[in-house]
Structure 1
Amino acid sequence: MLKKSFLIFLYFSISVLIYASDTKTNEVYVKGSNINMQEYIKFCDKTKKIKNLYVQKYEVTRKEFEEYLDYSQYSMLRQYSKTGGLFTYDNLMPYPDCAAVLITFYDACKYCNWRSEQEGYEPAYDIQGELPFELNYFQWKQENGEWIYYVLKMPEIRLNEKANGYRLPTINEYFYLLLGGQEGIDNKWWEEIDITKYEFFANSHFTNKVGSLKANPLGVYDIFSNAPEWIWADTNTYSRDDSINYAKYAVGYALREESLPNFNLIRYISNKKSLSPKSPLERGFIGMRMVRNAE
């Protein structure tokens, strides 16, 4: 009996170590900075220091997110179909190693906590309550004889900035990673890439296999060429009287009409002037990438 118990314990310990090792290979260390990101991207926050981070090389894949769906018994997402045709679960993510989409901001925070727990880290998000899993959180509802556009109230989510678990990058962190850190800014790494390939990836009606294109100087792949990615930020825009369902930022760029020599990524982003806020409960063509504190 003792021998059997020991073997089970040994098997579990080895499995955890292998899983942790595989996870580590998908991370890169990024040194923090006091850089004023607002000098490069006007809508960044100029006062926030960028921490030392471990950053996922790739966006969360369909296979990885499906492990969470299976664990949480949310298999109904696989039945997702917006209008048929191109906008179905399998068409949007045709391969297991494609970037996952159809992720709400709430899903993203829950997934970060779940992955943290699976790998022995302290969860970064304190989620006040639960939200029943739905394919579509927006619906017309009759109330007092009138049809109103009804949106469920999302639980409040608070970030523990000191936790070592997975989380979404902040707005400053995201754009620092996007530009390739200080080295990327100094070297203008984007001038050396074939921008037409990135345009094709960004303008597809589906996500591509992660890591298919050249990484930036930090070793981060697909950060402006595959799925838009949720980031941790909030604004009162469109929140009306609901302080919980702030419109969150989903970041991602479709590279259009930029097939020119010496493509300038900073100029391209700056021309957009601002970000387009997304509802935290929108289930659309939005994916995610995780980071965690290295301090």
Structure 2
Amino acid sequence: MKKLLIILLNLFILNLIFANSPKTNEVYVKGSNINVQKYIKFCDKTKKIKNLYVQKYEVTRKEFEEYLDYFGYNQLKEYSKDGGLFTYNNMMPYPDSAAVLITFYDACKYCNWRSEQEGFEPAYIIEDELPFAVKYFQWKQENGEWVYYVPKMPEIKLNKSANGYRLPTINEYFYILLGGYEGIKNKWWEEIDITKYEFFANSHFTNKVGSLKANPLGVYDIFSNAPEWIWADTNTYSRDDSINYAKYAIGYALREESLPNFNLIRYISNKKSLSLKSPLERGFIGMRMVRNAE
């Protein structure tokens, strides 16, 4: 009996070690008390950056399709916005393309699903289920009259102590983008050739993840292949609306023609605001996951 308990204890310890170790598609990012707001005005200077495991790549079409297949959401593969360029396969031409057409709700649910598949504690508490729809905003008939239908999305809360996958916060996103503490300290982003880091496709489709150069942390496409969802845990750039806590739903991307003597900080400083998105909007938005490393 004693030997069995020792074996079980060792297995428990190994499981804890495994759960708190980076996977092959992740990089370890050491946190900091650095004032990220000093560099990026969108950030909150009061937030400490935790130690994180960050996905090297954005979630791919192939990975997101596993989620769609699991829950039977395959009708999204028939998605066509206007035909032509804006169809499912044209927007994501390769299995390894960065996935788009992801709602904020799908992004949070995907994080929980991946966490459960890999034995982590889900980070999001989703109060209710939202029936899947390719397009949530639509005209419907009620009592013989046409009304513009907008469903009520379940409230989503973040369990900050969970070790499962989640979306980065605003502070975490820009901290990662700048290359973490060492990247900020070394100012590696001054006068870089942005074409080595960013894929310019006129917003028509996403490239294969990892096609271009990684930043100093080993994170690819952070300058944007697909715009990425951010968990906006701040009141400065937030809003509530009739759908839910839409204040948490922010999509952000650096998209502009290549500029000579490009300076990342100057470029971001010239942008007026973050992009507040409806959490039920299926647009050109993808995702990258992080998880707590402590």
Q: TM-score range by the shorter chain?
A: 0.7 to 0.9
CA shift for structure 1 position 198? 4.6
Distance between the aligned counterparts of 1:95 and 1:110, measured in 2? Answer: 23
CA shift for structure 1 position 243? 4.5
Distance between the aligned counterparts of 1:242 and 1:94, measured in 2? Answer: 32
- TM alignment of 1:77-88, pairs within 5 A: 77-88=76-87
Distance between the aligned counterparts of 2:157 and 2:239, measured in 1? Answer: 20
Q: Which moved more, 1:147-156 or 1:56-65?
A: 147-156
Provide the aligned length of Structure 1 versus Structure 2.
Answer: 272
* Cα distance per residue 1:88-145 (max 9 Å; x no partner): 0000000000100000000000000000001000000010010011000111235577
CA shift for structure 1 position 155? 0.5
Q: Which moved more, 1:227-236 or 1:96-105?
A: 227-236
What SS does the aligned partner of 1:77 have?
helix
Distance between the aligned counterparts of 2:209 and 2:45, measured in 1? Answer: 31
CA contact (8 A) 1:108 1:288 kept: yes
Distance between the aligned counterparts of 1:239 and 1:149, measured in 2? Answer: 19
1:124 aligns with 123
Change (3 A) 1:241 1:96: closer
2:260 aligns with 260
1:99 aligns with 2:103: no
TM-score (norm 1): 0.86
CA contact (8 A) 1:154 1:245 kept: no
Q: Give the partner amino acid of 1:84.
A: G
1:3 aligns with none
- TM alignment of 1:1-295, pairs within 5 A: 24-142=23-141, 147-191=146-190, 193-198=192-197, 200-201=199-200, 203-233=202-232, 239-246=240-247, 248-256=249-257, 258-261=258-261, 263-295=262-294
What SS does the aligned partner of 2:231 have?
coil
* Cα distance per residue 1:132-173 (max 9 Å; x no partner): 110001112355776443211100111000000000000000
CA contact (8 A) 1:202 1:224 kept: no
Distance between the aligned counterparts of 1:199 and 1:294, measured in 2? Answer: 28
What SS does the aligned partner of 1:203 have?
coil
Distance between the aligned counterparts of 2:224 and 2:243, measured in 1? Answer: 33
CA contact (8 A) 2:79 2:88 kept: yes
* Cα distance per residue 1:39-58 (max 9 Å; x no partner): 11112111111000000000
Distance between the aligned counterparts of 1:62 and 1:131, measured in 2? Answer: 22
CA shift for structure 1 position 203? 3.1
Q: Give the partner amino acid of 1:80.
A: Y
CA shift for structure 1 position 276? 1.4
Change (3 A) 1:40 1:148: farther
CA shift for structure 1 position 187? 2.8
Distance between the aligned counterparts of 2:250 and 2:100, measured in 1? Answer: 15
TM-score (norm 2): 0.86
Distance between the aligned counterparts of 1:101 and 1:42, measured in 2? Answer: 27
2:16 aligns with none
Change (3 A) 1:68 1:216: same
* Alignment gaps of 5+ in structure 2: 1-18
Distance between the aligned counterparts of 2:81 and 2:242, measured in 1? Answer: 29
* Cα distance per residue 1:215-236 (max 9 Å; x no partner): 0011100011300000101668
Distance between the aligned counterparts of 1:192 and 1:211, measured in 2? Answer: 22
CA contact (8 A) 2:196 2:213 kept: no
* Cα distance per residue 1:167-212 (max 9 Å; x no partner): 0000000000111112222333334743235554363410000001
* Alignment gaps of 5+ in structure 1: 1-19
* Cα distance per residue 1:51-103 (max 9 Å; x no partner): 00000000000011111111111111100000000000000000000100000
Distance between the aligned counterparts of 1:178 and 1:58, measured in 2? Answer: 13
